[in-house]
Amino acid sequence: MSVFTRAKNGLFGQTKPRNPHSLENLKYLYGVLNRNPTVSDANRDLLIETLRCISEIFIWGDQNDSSVFDLFLERGMLTNFLNYMRQKHGRYICVQILQTLNILFENIRHETSLYYLLSNNHVNSIIVHKFDFTDEEITAYYISFLKTLSLKLNSHSINFFYNERNNEFPLYVEAIKFFNHSENMVRIAIRTLTLNVYKVSDPAMHRFILDRTATEYFSNLVWFIRNHILDFDKILRNNRDINNRSHIFCSLEEYLDHIHYLQDIFLLEVHSLNNVLKDQLMNRLLIPVYVFSLIKRDRFSRLKDTRIMLDQSSAFFLLAEIFLVIRYRPVIEELADIILSADIETVEAVQRRYGEQVTYSLPPTALDVCLAKTESVQSKIYSDATLNALDVHDNTTRRRLENDHTRARSASSSPRHFSADNQRVGETHVKPASLYVSNWTDDEKAKRSKDRMNFNESQLAVRPYFQSLVEALNCTESDQLCFYALSVLLTMTTNPSVDSVILESVGLTVKSSDKKFYNTVIVDELCKILVSSTTQDSNIRLVSLNLAINLLKKLVYNEDDKVSYLSDHHLARIEQAHEQITQDLRRHYREQEMFLDMFEDEYRQMQLNPIQLEYLLKDACMLYPPTTTPLSGVEFIKRLPSGDIERARRAIRVFFLIRALSLELRVTSETELPLTKPENLVKENDKLDLNNSDLIACTVHMKEKKDRRFLVTDPMQFILIEPDVKRLGWGIVKFCDLMQDVEVANDKEDTRSLHITIHKPVSNAYVKSNPPILNAKFTFDDHIRCMTAKQNLSKGRQRYFVIHWDFTFHTKNLLLFYFFKELVKLNYQK
């Protein structure tokens, strides 16, 4: 800073107050701005520092002195900001100005102050200012500024941003230009901003969005998602190494963000916008990319550009996510009906319609070009009529569209707006019969109800999309495709937006008034999966078996009424699987010394961590072919077993799953598991008779406290007691846990001490570990007692089941007898 500038702001101006956070200092800083109306190299640093100080005063004023904002509004400091930005050297202080504005709008609390600040239209002038967006810092602060403004939108403040008279909405229009920015945080901020705009109840503003930007923005958005999906599929095809899955993980997270954003828009229930989005989503992504990829390329293929075809497993995964997340009824019902009900004639018509017109390319007109047009709407056009316009392989057509400033924008793409001419055009490409269940006539619904009674393999053969799902349940080589096919069927049957008429027509639900049938074709495949999972070298993972069992129960078991509709033939197949896994488990029992320990631990893990499909579909590991090695970092239930111990663990879990299914279908309660009954265990604060019991005195060191306790020698539990002062020979339990959770380690510095840690199994399968419930140093009277305690604790896990005399069967060979009893039951039933 030059000597002249210092003199100008000091000698010829006010004296700077000593207190930097005060109203007087704000007045002084305002004087500095007035004395420096032009940005130059000489005063650039001074102005940046002045703006920074103003930001600090705003924060202080919001908490301590409301007159700070009053002075800012009274002096019209926004005018100074705008003047600086418009100057040649203004870009040097743009970052500081945007940062100051962010702080100002984030901290303003009074609506009157906000309205006064917005009333002079300076904010809209700042929004449309031509910033240098090649500067990442400017872009970040600008987007943050727009997002902050969107958080202030309501039915009153919207009038300061949307000018109905001039038909302008700079906040929204400028923001959506960044919808496909390379930086993920920018895209997230824009999605948040658009949701904040859409949820404001203002018909005029919604009409502006519908007439001026809806089709353009949603078509570009869907095309952006589509290109991302194709890149995602390409990465997955070219990278089959599960240890190098970082790119897939990032792409998966991005796709999930897109789907949840679409669902958030639908949830706002702005019907006019939902109609446009629904049409773009169905016509540009779900049907031509997802549904097309369900069948092989050589079947019904009339595609000009085969790059839109996805790998079948990718298509199943993407559809499963759609049915899991999206709840908008028109989208979900139409998609489910096409997949389950479309016959060969319909498939050929749909493939011809979309395959000949939709290609892998950019949208017809870039979003910036669309938004730059300012002409008023002349007429309404519809999505089906503009399918040809979206084919931009014809460069002449694209140039004509971009230069046509009078092109009308789509007000809505809802089918109810079709003209007679457009309807005739559509009928030449699409089967006249509607696939959308809400448009069914009573005769069509009655026909569906009649046809469902006779659904068989011959009916399946004329439904190519549904047939591809059923065929994918074959696990001859791998269960990867089967896993995602099961995911699609499960998410479809559990989505509340799918009409029950659609599901009943193919036997995919038990929620019907006349339940006399189910889909025997699918149940046959599910029974094959169950039987195959019981073989020694089965290639079916536990997650796939779990989904197969869940789907089977959805088809044949009514949980509300506790009624099973399964035929004797299929029930016998399940009992066969039950018998086979019981025999396999006996073999593992003889081979594994720690089998009883594993048996109880696996049962507890299954009860605490039930498999949830929502979390499985978020795991990038599931997109890769099944692996066996634990070194991959993949959870045990999501991969194939490695080694004898893991094979034993898998057999135990398969046994639990099939046994639970068998009992449920036979409407029988579980009475024998778990082997360790909670009611037979010692609990905290219980009073025990310790006469003739082996006790070891010790001092427990926990953080800053230490307690004198007695360790009880028990084969089942780790028990610490305190003597009962009221009854001689009795003690009060202060801590207890199962012996199998105990970890013991020697203290390297003290031979009289042990370090004991007790971990409880995690209650969430997606959390690696819980904090230990006990982590303490135990000091005994001498090293002999210390060694005795360690020996008792170490052997406790091995004696966990073998020596327990107070349980159901009163035998050391409890589990072997249990298996024998199971086999006797099965043979008797036969």
Give the CATH number of the domain where residue 692 resides. 2.30.29.30
pTM equals 0.79
Average pLDDT over residues 669-678: 80
Phi, psi for residue 600 in degrees, rounded to 5: -70, -40
CB 638 within 8 A of CB 540: no
Average pLDDT over residues 299-310: 56
CA dihedral 508, 510, 512, 517 (to 10 degrees): 70
The percentage of residues in the chain with a pLDDT greater than 70, rounded to a whole number, is 78
Dist. CA 24–CA 28, nearest whole Å: 6
Residue 485 and residue 471 share a domain: yes
Contacts of 446 (CB under 8 A, 6+ apart): none
Residue 426 and residue 356 share a domain: yes
Average pLDDT over residues 178-183: 92
Confidence check: pLDDT of 684 > 60: yes
Confidence check: pLDDT of 814 > 70: no
Residue 699 and residue 656 share a domain: no
Q: What is the pLDDT of residue 830?
A: 46
Confidence check: pLDDT of 308 > 90: no
Average pLDDT over residues 662-690: 86
**59-73, 313-327, 597-611, range with the lowest pLDDT:** 59-73
Q: Regarding predicted confidence, which is higher, 166 or 679? A: 166
Residue 734 and residue 632 share a domain: no
Listed residues 637, 665, 693: the one ending a domain = 665
Closest among 742, 781, 551, 785 to 661, alpha carbons compared: 551
Q: What is the pLDDT of residue 699?
A: 94
Q: Regarding predicted confidence, which is higher, 595 or 234? A: 234
Confidence check: pLDDT of 589 > 80: yes
Residue 551 and residue 501 share a domain: yes
Confidence check: pLDDT of 98 > 80: yes
Question: Does any domain span residue 220?
Answer: yes
**565-569, 639-643, 732-736, 803-807, range with the lowest pLDDT:** 803-807
Confidence check: pLDDT of 35 > 50: yes
Q: Regarding predicted confidence, which is higher, 512 or 500? A: 500
Q: What is the pLDDT of residue 366?
A: 66
Q: What is the pLDDT of residue 810?
A: 35
Phi, psi for residue 557 in degrees, rounded to 5: -130, 125
Domains contained in the chain, number = 4
How would residue 323 be classed by pLDDT, with cut points 50, 70 and 90? very high
How would residue 709 be classed by pLDDT, with cut points 50, 70 and 90? very high
Q: What is the pLDDT of residue 512?
A: 60
Q: Which residue has the tokens 């919604």?
A: 206
Average pLDDT over residues 74-95: 80
CB 302 within 8 A of CB 355: yes
Give the tokens for residue 689.
């008779």
Average pLDDT over residues 556-580: 90
Confidence check: pLDDT of 405 > 80: no
Largest Cα span, the chain:
108
Question: Does any domain span residue 513?
Answer: yes
Give 427-467 pLDDT, tens digit per residue. 333 333 344 444 555 555 555 555 545 567 778 888 889 99
Give 102-132 pLDDT, tens digit per residue. 888 888 777 877 887 888 888 999 999 988 8
Residue 211 and residue 353 share a domain: yes
Residue 457 and residue 435 share a domain: no
Beta bridge partners of 707: 700
Dist. CA 828–CA 830, nearest whole Å: 5
E strand or H helix that includes residue 687: strand 687-689
Residue 654 and residue 701 share a domain: no
How would residue 186 be classed by pLDDT, with cut points 50, 70 and 90? very high
Dist. CA 377–CA 385, nearest whole Å: 17
The mean pLDDT value of the chain amounts to: 79
Question: Does any domain span residue 349?
Answer: yes
Residue 387 and residue 258 share a domain: yes
Give the tokens for residue 562.
């506790």
Residue 636 and residue 508 share a domain: yes
CB 539 within 8 A of CB 626: yes
Half-sphere exposure of 686 (CA within 13 A, CB side): 13
Confidence check: pLDDT of 1 > 60: no
Question: Does any domain span residue 672?
Answer: no
Confidence check: pLDDT of 67 > 50: yes
Confidence check: pLDDT of 815 > 90: no
Strands 695-702 and 705-712: antiparallel
Confidence check: pLDDT of 258 > 70: yes
Confidence check: pLDDT of 209 > 90: yes
- Residue range of the domain that includes 285: 202-439
Confidence check: pLDDT of 545 > 90: yes
How would residue 282 be classed by pLDDT, with cut points 50, 70 and 90? very high
Question: Does any domain span residue 228?
Answer: yes
Residue 445 and residue 427 share a domain: no
Residue 502 and residue 393 share a domain: no
Q: Regarding predicted confidence, which is higher, 243 or 200? A: 200
Q: What is the pLDDT of residue 436?
A: 46
Confidence check: pLDDT of 203 > 50: yes
Task: Say whether the peptide bond before residue 674 is cis (omega within 30 degrees of 0).
Answer: yes
Question: Does any domain span residue 152?
Answer: no
E strand or H helix that includes residue 264: helix 246-267
Cα 368 versus chain centre, distance: 31
Q: What is the pLDDT of residue 407?
A: 36
Q: What is the pLDDT of residue 388?
A: 34
Question: Does any domain span residue 782?
Answer: yes
Average pLDDT over residues 637-659: 93
Give 122-158 pLDDT, tens digit per residue. 899 999 998 889 889 999 999 999 999 999 999 999 9
Question: Does any domain span residue 810?
Answer: no
Listed residues 72, 89, 120: the one ending a domain = 120
Listed residues 98, 120, 142: the one ending a domain = 120
How would residue 421 be classed by pLDDT, with cut points 50, 70 and 90? very low
Give 741-754 pLDDT, tens digit per residue. 888 999 999 999 99
Beta bridge partners of 731: 688, 723
